[in-house]
Amino acid sequence: MRLTDYLDKGASLGPSSPCLTMGERTLTYADVQDLSRRVAAALARSGIAAGDKVAVLSGNDPTAFSCVFGISRAGAVWCPINPRNEAAENRDLLDLFDCRCLIFQKAFAPLVDRIRQQLPLLTTLVCLDGDEAYADSFDTWLGAERLDAEPVDDLALIVGTGGTTGRPKGVMLTGRNIETMSALTLMSYPFDGRPVYLALAPLTHAAGVLCFPILTLGGQVVILPAPDLGQFLAHIERDRVTHTFLPPTLIYMLLDHADLETTDLGSLQCFWYGAAPISPTRLSEALTRIGPVMAQLFGQSEAPMMIATMAPKDHFDENGSVATARLSSAGRPSPLVTVAIMDGQGTLLPAGERGEVVVRSSLVMTGYYKNPVATQEASAHGWHHTGDIGYLDEDNFLYIVDRAKDMIITGGFNVYSVEVEQALMAYPGIQDCGVIGLPDEKWGERVVAVVQTRTGKPIEADALTAFVKARIGSVKTPKEILVWPDLPRSKLGKVLKNEIKQQLLG
């Protein structure tokens, strides 16, 4: 299936049904189909051929997301660009992907103007919602012709990994990868009736690819242009939202939101969380206060979303009580995915032993764009290497204990930062935290925690230290706990441990 096939499948269930909604504006399935065909024709008229790379730089917006289907209809390759990136990072991505066309919102025109001269392959620039001297106006560029071209191969999109460890890499995802992800979504989680999906997180990331399985069922995607949790709650009640997604950081903020208790959440069937480890303590609170609808997904750009899944029902034991011990897991490997644990020599390890999480599946990318060395490294020993350290228990639940690069070795013992963070998050009054290792003459590395408290609730470091020591022992307990008003975060809300380390070392 091409990306546009998900839209057409939904249209076959009712072309006049709402497809994309933002505020008072709604595009029906027929509207989005027509717009996508006009975008495809405009791309062809601009010299964009099947297989060429087309980037979209925009906040959450129905027209911008409709262009994704136009890119697919033209047989071109969609390159999502995160609007929260810095100019240099977006320049690197557009250059890396060999983009020939960039469709952008006027709000990003100054950024585009700064980088366009450094991108000689970028021959077509289109402004979605305004006029720029160096770009075509979207309405003028669009024209009246329609096109539905045949793709030259199965490459559907290229996703940037981010440049925190050097130059970013481009993850090549095929139609088959997205088809596998969509199938796993539909078979792993509850879908009763025509879904209404609320997208608050950026459509350039997890919130966007989750739209594809929604569309196959003729569902409606309600788009929020900005991360406003008050509006998020209001839309759940007003639009009778059935499915949504938030990363853990925003779920913590939602649990502290004044409107949570008075909002009718009864329409929710599935509230996905993922993109970072979640605190089991806060997850247990969410199961009570948001409802028995929480649903975990675990994946990465190279194997999108569905390496392991945990449906709402799996958060509970057979007697209906919360399955507390299971809340720290990432769920079970998905039905179309094989997960194993591997040591550094390529040997697969038995249940309970810790090593790198490796994967085999049609979910896994074809490789990194123009980077055969990185592709070979990621597929060593015939498995895709996730870079996560974890283990499988006797019931085949997967537990992620750390990113390999975040493991701390102190006094000869391996300390996994996620385990320490979960112990810290169980203490009342902690909003979020990050755990790192810093050089230490005695221990080699010492465990250091930086915590963010809930508004107006100070924390006593000695009491917190004693609490953590009682839960996980003295070796893993931070030697130092610092309280910061906020933590450095990525565009998706993940705590950036490398930035914490740099600040403390500086």
**pLDDT score for 409:** 83
| 227-403 and 407-505 in the same fold | no
Which tokens in the block code for residue 110? 């100054």
**pLDDT score for 162:** 58
Query: With respect to CATH, is domain 27-174 assigned 3.40.640.10?
Result: no
Q: How far is CA 3 from CA 37, 59, 446, in A?
A: 13, 20, 48
3-class DSSP assignment, residue 127: strand
Rounded distance between C-alpha atoms, residue 124 and residue 350, angstroms:
53
**Which residues, including other chains, have CB under 8 Å from residue 110's CB and lie 6 or more apart?**
none
The fourth-level CATH superfamily of domain 227-403 is: ANL, N-terminal domain (3.40.50.12780)
Query: With respect to CATH, is domain 407-505 assigned 3.90.105.10?
Result: no
Ranges in the chain, pLDDT < 50: 163-165
**Which residues, including other chains, have CB under 8 Å from residue 102's CB and lie 6 or more apart?**
54, 55, 56, 57, 81, 94, 112, 116, 122, 124, 125, 126
Check: pTM over 0.85? Answer yes or no.
Answer: yes
Percent pLDDT > 70 in the chain is 98
**pLDDT score for 479:** 93
Percent pLDDT > 90 in the chain is 77
**pLDDT score for 101:** 97
Domain ranges of the chain: 27-174, 227-403, 407-505
Instruction: Report the side by side order of strands in the sheet with 294-300.
Output: 25-28, 18-22, 220-223, 196-199, 243-246, 270-273, 294-300, 303-310, 332-333
**pLDDT score for 150:** 82
**pLDDT score for 232:** 96
Neighbours of 353 (CB within 10 A): 11
**pLDDT score for 456:** 67
**pLDDT score for 421:** 92
**pLDDT score for 430:** 92
